[in-house]
Structure 1
Amino acid sequence: MMSEMGMSLPKLPTPHGEKLAALRENSKLPEVDRERVDKARKVYEMWRESCLCVSGTREQVIQALVAQLQQYKRYIDLELIFDSPADWLYRQKGQTKLDNSIIEEFLPILVTSVFGEDLADDIFELGPTTCFSNLRFESSIVELSKGAGAAVKSKDQDFAISRPVFLKTSHHKDFRNATTHETRIAYVAAECKTNLDKTMFQEAAATAQDVKTAVPGAKYFLLCEWLDMTPISTSVTPIDEILLMRRAKRLPSSARKSFSKAADRKANRGTFIEYLDGNPFSSKVFERLLSHIEQVVRADGLDTNKALSDGFF
C-alpha cells in the first residue's frame, strides 16, 4: 500500500484472513461447512480489496470503511456462522476467533487510510503484535548470570501502533556474555472484545497499567462490539477510554439460548437479523478513536521558547 506521495506505509496484517485459512484446515470443521468457508474466503478477499480502494475526505473514508465493515461482519456472523446447518461454527466462535479478528484486521486499514502520510517512511508497525511490558533481572550476587539475567516480559495486543526495540544486556562494559532481546514499544494499544464483561474489563485495566508503566506516554483503549456489564468509569483505571463500537448491549441470555441448535437458529433468524441490523457499527465511535490516535501520531514537540513565553508546559 502506498501513500499519494509514493512513500511506503506499514505492512498491513491479515489476522482475519489467517483465521479463515486455519479454519478451512481444521479437522473438526464439519464437512457441510467446508464449501461455505471456501465461499467466505472469497468474500473476505473482495471485502479487503474494497477497503483498500476507499478514498475521499476523512469523513467519507471513515463512513465508507465502517459501512463495509458492517456489511462484511454481518455476512460472517449471519450467513457463515448463524446459518450453518451444523452447530460447530456457532458453538466454537470463541475458539475460532472469527469475530474480533475482523476488527483486528480492520483497524490498521482504517488508521493507515486516515493517517497514511503520518505513518510513512518510518519503522511503525500496525496491528496485532506482542509489546514490551516489563524488564526484570533473574540474577543473584553469588552467580554471574549471562546477560545479567535479564528477562523481558511482553504482552499480546490485539492492535498496536508500535516500533521494534532491541535490547542487549551484560554485566560487562564490552558486552561479553551478553543476551539480546527483541520486542516492540506500543505507543497506542487496544484490546478488541466481542462481548465485554466485568472480568475482561479488570484484565484490560491490568494490561493498561503494564503498557503505561513501560511507556508513560502511551494510550490504551478497550474496544467492544457488545457491552455485557454495567459501565464503570475509566477515570480510576489506566484505560484511556472504552469504545462501544455498536453502542449497544449484548443480546440477553434468554434470547441467546434459542440459538444453540441449527433448527432453533433457523426459527429465530429474524430476531438475530433485527439485532444485527438495528445496532450497526458507529462511524462516530471510530472517529473518536481516530481523534485519540491523532493526538499521538501528530503530536507536536515541545517548543521551549513558547513554554517560556506562555509560562507553562
Structure 2
Amino acid sequence: MKDPEQSILRQISQRQQARAKKLQEMNPMLPTPHLDKLTAAIDNDKMPEAAKPALHNCITLYHQWVADMQAVHGSREQVVAELIDLFNQYKFHVDFNLIYSNQEDFLYRQKGQLKLDNSVIEEFLPHLVFKAFPELSNINLGPTKCFSAAYFKTSLNAQTNGGNLTIRTKDQDFAISKKLYVKSSHDASFQRSDSVETYLGYVTAECKTNLDKTMFQEATATANDVKSALPGAKYFLLCEWLDMTPVSTAPTDIDEVLILRKSKRIPSNVRKTFNTYAGRMKKADWYHEFLTSRPFSHEVFMRFVGHIESLISDEDPAENTVLEDGYF
C-alpha cells in the first residue's frame, strides 16, 4: 500500500509542474534556473524525505514570488524598488527558513552543490531587467553561453567547407545577449559552408555568493575574454558577501564589482557551528538578525540598472554634434 503522504506530495508536485509550464508559456524569454534547482533537489536520490515538504512549500512560494514580480508596475525607480523588496522577502525564506532552519542537515551542508540559494539571484536579474527596460523585450535575458572566441580547426591540405569554423563560449550567470549566426566558406557563393550559432553578450555578470581572491582572478580572465570578443560589452562581478580584501578593478577588464548586501562574509569560526541543526538553532536569533540587518541594497541594484541604462542610451556620435561639442 502506498504511503498517503507521498501520494499527496506527488500530486502537489504535478500541479506545480503544470503551473511552471504555464508560467514559461507566459514569459518564454525568462529562464527559471532557481525553479530548476528546486525541482532537481526534490528529485535528488540523496535528499532526505523529511526535507521534501519544505522544498514543495518553497516551490509554492516561488510561484507567488514570480506572480508578484509580474504584477509590479510604475516608473523605473518604483519598479526596481518594489522588485528588490520582493526579492529580499523570498531570498530570506530560502536562506533562513528553507536551508538554515531545516532539521535535515543535508540542505545546509550541500547548499554549494544544490545551489538553491545562489540560483535565486540568477532568476531575479532577468525579471529586474525585463521590468526596468521593457524596450529590451526582444533581447535574450538570463544565464547564457556567450561567444568568447572563434578559430578554425583546419590545415592546408584539409578538405573543409569553410575552414571548420569553431567557436569557444563561456557560461555567464547573467547576460543581456543577442543570438548570433556565423558562417564561413571557401566559396564566395557560400554553397558549401560551415555555420555556428551562439550569443553575443552585451552585458554579462558573474554572480557569486561569497567573493574571494581566487574567484576575482578567474573573473578577471573571463572579463578579458568578454571584452576581446565584443569591445563595447560590459562585465560585472556581483557578490552577496565579500570574502577578500578589496582591490582596484582599474588594471582589469571588470567594469565594476557590486557587493549586493554591502557586507562581509560571516567568519569561518562562526560558520563551522552551522553544520548541525543544534548548532544552527543556538545561533538562530543571531543569524536572523544578521540577514535582516543586511538586506540586498536598493542603491547597489540601482547602480547596476544605471550601468545598463547608460549602455542602452549609448549611440554612435553624429558629426554635427561632435563638432558642436568639440570632443567625442
Q: Structure 2 length as normaliser, TM-score?
A: 0.89
Q: 1:166-213: CA deviations, max 9, x gaps?
A: 111222223344221000001000010000000000111111111110
Instruction: Specify the alignment match of 1:243 in structure 2.
Output: 258
Q: Secondary structure at the match of 1:37?
A: helix
Which range is displaced more, 243-252 or 106-115? 106-115
Question: Residues 35-184 of structure 1: matches in 2 within 5 Å?
Answer: 35-116=53-134, 118-120=135-137, 122=138, 124-184=139-199
Give the distance between the partners of 1:155 and 1:240, measured in 2 at CA: 18
Give the distance between the partners of 2:192 and 2:276, measured in 1 at CA: 60
Of structures 1 and 2, the one scoring higher in RCO (CA 8 A, sep 6+) is 1
Give the distance between the partners of 1:33 and 1:203, measured in 2 at CA: 35
Residue type matched to 2:117 in 1?
D
2:40 to 22, 28, 31: 22
Give the distance between the partners of 1:272 and 1:139, measured in 2 at CA: 57
Give the distance between the partners of 1:168 and 1:108, measured in 2 at CA: 30
How far is the alpha carbon of 1:51 from its aligned partner? 1.1
Instruction: Specify the alignment match of 2:14 in structure 1.
Output: none
Q: Secondary structure at the match of 2:146?
A: strand
- Gap regions ≥5 residues in structure 1: 1-7
Instruction: Specify the alignment match of 2:219 in structure 1.
Output: 204
* 1:270 and 2:285 aligned: yes
How far is the alpha carbon of 1:9 from its aligned partner? 8.4
Give the distance between the partners of 2:169 and 2:131, measured in 1 at CA: 28
Instruction: Specify the alignment match of 2:295 in structure 1.
Output: 280
Residue type matched to 1:231 in 2?
P
Q: Structure 1 length as normaliser, TM-score?
A: 0.93
* 1:310 and 2:325 aligned: yes
CA contact (8 A) 2:208 2:239 kept: yes
Residue type matched to 2:43 in 1?
E
The runs of 4+ residues in structure 1 deviating greater than 3 Å are: none
* 1:292 and 2:310 aligned: no
Instruction: Specify the alignment match of 2:7 in structure 1.
Output: none
Which range is displaced more, 250-259 or 272-281? 272-281
CA contact (8 A) 1:104 1:127 kept: yes
Residue type matched to 2:131 in 1?
S
Instruction: Specify the alignment match of 1:222 in structure 2.
Output: 237
How far is the alpha carbon of 1:282 from its aligned partner? 0.3
Matched residues, percent identical? 49
Number of residue pairs aligned between Structure 1 and Structure 2: 303
- Gap regions ≥5 residues in structure 2: 1-25
